[in-house]
Chain A
Amino acid sequence: MSEINLAPLEKNGPEFMDLFQSAKRCILKFCVSLSIILISPYANSTEKVDYERQIKPIFRNRCNACHGALKQKAKLRLDTANFMLQGGYGGPAIEPGHAEESLLLERLVESDQDLRMPPEGAPLTPEQIELVKTWITQGAQHPTNEAPESDPFKHWSFVPPVRPEIQSAPAGSKTVNPIDKLLGDRLAKSGLSRQPRAENHVLIRRLYLDLTGLPPTRAELQEFLKDPSDAAYSSIVDRLLASPRHGERWARHWMDVWRYSDWYGRRSVPDVLNSYGQIWRWRDWIVQSLNQDRGYDSMVKAMLAADEISPDKPSDQAATGFLVRNFYRWNYSLWLKDNVEHTGKAFLGLTFNCAHCHDHKYDPIKNDDYFALRAVFEPIEIRHDRVPGEPDPGPYPEYSYGASYKPITSGLVRVFDKNLDAKTFVYLKGESRNIVPGRPPVQPGFPEFLGGKVAPVVTIKLPPQIAYPGIQAFVRQEEIAFREKTLAESDKNLKLIELEIQNQKKNGPESELQKLKLKLAETVKATALADLASIHARIDADQARYNKTSPESEARTMLAVESERFLSLRKAGSVLAQAELTHAEALKKSAAEGAKTAPKLETARKAYDVALADLKKLDKNQKFTPLSPTYPDSTTGRRAALAKWITSPANPLAARVAVNHIWRWHFGSPLVATTSDFGRNGAQPTNQELLDWLAQELMNPTNPAIQPWSMKAIHKLIITSETYRMRSEPESPNDPGKSVDSANKSYWHFPRTRMEAEEVRDSALHVSGQLDTTAGGPDIDLKEGLVSHRRSLYFSHHGESRMPFLEIFDAADACDAYKRTSSVVPQQALAMVNNDFLIDLSRTLADRLWNELSGNPGSDQAKLEQFLKAAFETVLSRPVKPAELKLATQFIISQSKIIEAQSTDHKTAGKLVAEALARRDMVHALFSHNDFLTIH
């Protein structure tokens, strides 16, 4: 068949195809039947093929992307049997009862790879082909009411969310939280009912861990046990939402989705390839923004385009860490690719990455849409901004092949539009070298099918201090202060030498060396003076230029240039004076030593002469050294437009994606299982009404006093619902929910979860009273993970490494954490048990709890009981049970005997030490208790 080439004919249009196809069918008929006989072990099978169960999934998985609702290549659809009968350009795809005459089958078994269907991936398996054949032979039976694939543009998540009507509660009755109402209706339909409220201690621990990542202290636990009223609950919610710990906890959640990563690439070199130094400021910005309840929309805007939307807010610039994080030094194309992919996944729940090489197989995202979105990011580049009180990080170094770049350790890193007319060219097959020749560049744009008000892309003028940060007052002040300090030091040094010489003169004339020393000190001071004068001159020139006082500006510029020349001369003078002194000192040792230093002296003399000559060669066009790099004074506005479009209330996806994440962090499971894919290949929401209601409530709060997009308001709404306050363990062992909805998709009980990695570590520190609550700052070395008492989110976390202890507990992958896994493995048991950090915390806590009882009179037995009560309440946030009391008492007794037997101490001391260690081991064991690691 290889001599027949279909490809050129396709260009001739459908009419030729028809003719061609019928001719070809005759040729093929024989081959098809033959090949089917050869491959078919069940040729005479009479077993009835089930279209819905056996045939449809094959087409859905392999064919419908091109022959379905999304696309109709060759005018053919295969998503219903009727469409198959109707056929495409080639005529009907199937001939019921005549498999060997069916075009569809011909193309499936075609041996010519260019003609075979499906064109990508492996051919259908012989079993699949046999099924299709048998189905056709048996008459291609199918349900009469078979529904075609729905219109891709009307996919549920592409249509803006509508707030469902919620019937208001009858007058006089208690108001019902809409969440409870929406879930309750669904439960009632399946004949299920909500579990009753969890016990108070369970509830309060759940709440504290949820909002702050830390369990309640014993006092906080008892406070709630004493007054578990709704009012008390509500005020605790407010208090926790206002706690600085809340921002830290929820920042870590969002950092998963926004792929927070400290710099990596070649950490051991060190060489920054991915992400960037100082990106921790973005982490701190997230924490602070959440604590201030900054709107979600505003955060998204800042992360995509703070430099365009709020250029005059220095504190916002770190937000573009979202884009900096994707930076890849070796390949800018990859940087842009990641920006497109993760903007899509994080904010829109769309997999734009699938449209990198071809049109999307499930969603109506064209290959061109991918490049239009890439064009939004095309002009970007990294820049270093100076921060008050920190050394100048210097300019961003352009990459030079083979060089390595250490991370910057001061200042702020962010993105800006560098190439305002950057062009985006379409390339093929995801390979950036395959640019399509002749195709005009792609304009920036967003997928129109999602609707929303597309803000026009307009160039934005930037404030002067953005284009030239050197004119900022703090930069000038710091530059002057630095030089004043140098001058003062040089003056002090000069005075010391003058004093030395004065003293010498009492006994005779000063030595030659002393004269040279004096000369050096004088020239150093003169250099410092010149430097100070020069910075003033440069600042004056900058200011004149900024004020646009033209003649003055020119004069000032000349003065600044001159001052720098003079400074160069002074510097050369200092070097020369130093060389003279060194040479004289060497000569004093020996002529040979002197010979060694002579060349340096000669060089210094020549350099001085050059500097002197330069001073006279001033001309008008010379420039002085600016106080900072300069950048474009405008920006394309592309990213600002994108950010505004994403966060426009008409965008159907942004709010839904956000509340879905918020929901899962409260409940452990999302409403849409595929958190980064709300497209047609993603999961259906388990309760779309609820999702849509939450999305609308986020954007347009019912209570006008609440600012739109407030996340704290959504937290409070969720947390004060009855749904949130349910038991996790079904009250009745025979609850129908166990059989009707074992996966708990309808939330008939609270989903029990395991603590996240950071919660395990931070909670152990917190309950033992050892948590260091210092907030923010540069990432802490991983090696300090089980030494430092800071919260886990402040440790290095990047594509190369995570803290091993956290990794064992499924800490987020810095590159892909739209979801986390939650495993139970023996390594976790080892990490809890063989961990001197935890043992030390246990010791401190056990001793503290024991010592707090020292005033209590009573028997040893009673004291031990008090101790155990305190330990359980502190570590597990719940009262100890009688059986546990008994078990723990026995353990402490047996454990202290074992320890004592091994002890070499004096008998009495040995017993006391052993008992203390046994108490420590008891506390330590509590960290391995299921009730510690589990949030019920």
Chain B
Amino acid sequence: MANHSQKPWTGPPCGRVPRRTFLSDIGFGFTGLALGSMLNGDGIVRADDTPSWSPPTGQPHFQPKTKSIIWIFLSGGVSQLETWDPKPALNKYAGKTYDATGLPNPTKSPLFAARSRDVVGGARPHSKIFPLQVGFKKYGRSGVEISDWWPHLVTCADDIAFVRSMYSTDNDHNAEFQMHHGRHKLDEKQPVIGSWIHYGLGTLNENLPQFVFLGQYTDPRVKENFAADYLGPQYGGVEVSLDPKNPLPFGNRVKGVQARQQENEFKFIQQMNELASVEYPEDDQLRARIKSYELAYKMQGSIPEVVNISGESQETLNLYGIDEEKTATYGRRLLAARRLAERGVRFSLVYLSDYGEWDSHVELHKRHSLSCSRVDKPIADLLKDLKRRGLSEDVTVVCCTEFGRTPGLEVREGVALTATGRDHHPHAFTIWMAGAGIKPGIVHGATDELGFHAIEHPHYVTDIHATVLNLLGLDPKRLDIPGRKRLEIDYGTPIHQIMA
């Protein structure tokens, strides 16, 4: 760890009042009730063993480099080969088995067993090499190679730090949740990265949730991506819908209830509870409840404004591709993410695909080219918009997926498949980051010649968590909760090489 990050951080975060300190006894906002009392009451804390433990103060542990994270997730497994890690060798060896290439057979490398644990059984041979489905060129000063399916993103090449040496360990889609909480399906679940951030940092805007999920899904498992697990539901991601008429769960007045009528009822509730506090002066939950009603009322008023993008200029709407059907949905989602970050939301998980959308076992060419065309412009324009507004000093963008895809063509014994796609591949994939605290225009890490194994600077998914936490000034080890065992691998290691 670089020296500067060891410095104790004493000032308030980002020039704001550290609310958490002020409210440390009862804990407000989306943070909820007093952590100390909650944990003690729960008995999670072993009082006799951890005299020194105290809940996070809400302040960074050291000087942060960013304030907010926009975390873009592309579900289903983006092919590293057809996007940000093109491998011309695949064209050279197309149709050959791994053995026939003369290169070391990657499935016989010790890395193969070391980095994968199957959840779903069944052999999945994919040894015949499938050629690249798209061309690629070099872009920017760094000359990073990007595929032709990203005509807009390539114009931001000099702003992005690519990490081409990611690996995960699950060969099925639970890797998606693993990307967010860091553990394999067969191991005990952990809180997701957004929840740790929410848990560790004070709020910048107490009228808004700290951790927001933006996206739509029909598969309820998607919720695992923003579940706080043992940190408790108050640290989970809040689903914010882009419909200003119904932006939050229970965020709208019931039909027929007028604004003044509800305001009067809120006032009445508060007055009654104030009266009750005379009888129960020792009831700290009552004090928290009074405050929570006040905040609820404020939040209900402020969230619709945030998600209402109608106030944005036509130029901005065009910028995110909101004027075009193909890009409108995702453009809106990213514009909303920018508005949330602008107003101090710490972590927005932007689900920029349908569940499993990128999962191209067949017709990879058709599916990936289509999916790219839906997100390319909105993502590129988010980076541009952040930059021109000076927000790239405060906001970091992460773009990731759960795993890559096999260099080989997918065929499965006993399963009829049109052999036109690639299978799941946890051994190598690419993610990228841009914005505050990130070195622009670099490529970090590398896969082997076939794009099969991450060999140079390999990074497990929690290294991305560690990087993001480090940018926010947090040391994950200092967020531990007594009685909940975390492993070294859960903490990860920040990727300092991509940090400015």
Contacts and interface: CB of A to CB of B under 8 A. Distances in A.
Interface string A582-611: 000000000000000000000000000000
B233 A807 contact: yes
Contact of A827 (B230, B261, B296, B483): B296
Interface in A432-491: 433
Interface string B99-130: 00000000000000000011111100000000
Given A669-B41, A752-B285, A830 B488 contact: no
A5 interface: no
B119 A330 contact: yes
Interface residues on B, range: 35 or more
B254 A823 contact: no
Contacts of B44: 673, 819
Interface residues on A, range: 35 or more
Interface string A32-63: 00000000000000000000000000000000
Given A831-B250, A902-B258, A826 B299 contact: yes
A825 B33 CA distance: 7
A813 B229 CA distance: 8
B251 A921 contact: no
Contacts of A754: 285
A267 interface: yes
Contacts of A835: 250, 254
Contacts of A933: 289
B268 A934 contact: no
B268 A887 contact: yes
A815 B224 CA distance: 13
Contact of B272 (A433, A836, A887): A887
A827 B285 contact: no
B415 A402 contact: yes
A899 B258 contact: yes
Contact of A928 (B38, B218, B275, B293): B293
Interface string B240-282: 0000000011111111011011101110110111011101111
Nearest to B227: A813
A430 B251 CA distance: 45
B107 to A, nearest CB: 15
A829 B32 CA distance: 12
B220 A268 contact: yes
Contacts of A738: 282
Contacts of B232: 810, 821, 823
A553 interface: no
Contacts of A675: 43
Given A821-B233, A823-B232, A899-B258, A930 B264 contact: no
Contacts of B495: none
B186 A825 contact: no
Q: Is the interface of A mostly helix, strand, loop or mixed?
A: loop
Nearest to B280: A729
B238 interface: yes
A121 B489 CA distance: 9
A353 B485 CA distance: 12
Contact of A821 (B38, B119, B122, B219): B38
B324 interface: no
Contact of B218 (A268, A670, A827, A924): A268
A266 B250 contact: no
B286 A930 contact: yes
A404 interface: no
Contact of A930 (B48, B252, B273, B282): B273
A730 B279 CA distance: 11
A824 B285 contact: yes
A122 interface: yes
B265 A921 contact: yes
A684 B269 contact: no
A134 to B, nearest CB: 19
Contacts of A122: 488
Nearest to B188: A353
Interface string A793-837: 000000011001001101001011001011111111111011110
Given A730-B282, A733-B281, A828-B292, A898 B258 contact: yes
Contacts of B255: 836
A156 to B, nearest CB: 13
Given A331-B119, A743-B40, A823-B232, A898 B261 contact: yes
Contact of A673 (B43, B118, B289): B43
A674 B46 contact: yes
Nearest to A431: B117
A887 B250 contact: no
Given A898-B261, A930-B276, A823 B33 contact: yes
Contact of B42 (A672, A821, A924): A821
Given A401-B122, A801-B223, A839 B41 contact: no
A830 B251 contact: yes
B233 A931 contact: no
Contacts of A121: 487-488
A161 to B, nearest CB: 20
Given A730-B282, A826-B299, A810 B233 contact: yes
A829 B261 CA distance: 16
Nearest to B263: A898
Contacts of B189: 815
Contacts of A733: 281
B86 interface: no
B238 A827 contact: yes
Interface in A822-875: 822-831, 833-836, 839
B221 interface: yes
A884 B275 contact: yes
Contact of B295 (A266, A752, A815, A826): A826
A807 B269 CA distance: 23
Contacts of A669: 41, 43
A825 B250 CA distance: 13
B414 A401 contact: yes
A825 B30 contact: yes
A628 interface: no
Nearest to A671: B43
B29 interface: yes
B238 A729 contact: no
Contacts of B369: none
A405 interface: no
A292 interface: no
Contacts of A827: 30, 238, 249-250, 296
Contacts of A887: 268, 271-272, 275
B283 interface: yes
Contacts of A804: 249
Contacts of B297: 829
Interface string A412-443: 00000000000000000011010000000000
A683 interface: yes
A79 B262 CA distance: 63
Given A330-B121, A675-B43, A895 B282 contact: no
A512 to B, nearest CB: 45
A898 B282 CA distance: 36
Nearest to B230: A816
B455 to A, nearest CB: 21
A929 interface: yes
B41 A822 contact: yes
A931 B269 CA distance: 11
A202 B475 CA distance: 46
A614 B41 CA distance: 74
Contacts of B218: 268
Interface in A542-601: none
B43 A929 contact: no
B234 interface: yes
B316 interface: no
A4 to B, nearest CB: 25
6 contacts: A401-B414, A673-B47, A821-B42, A825-B234, A828-B292, A925-B265
Q: Which 7 residue pairs across A and B have the least CB separation, nearest first?
A: A673-B43, A829-B296, A826-B296, A401-B122, A825-B32, A824-B288, A830-B250
Given A887-B271, A930-B289, 4 more contacts: A669-B43, A813-B229, A888-B272, A898-B258
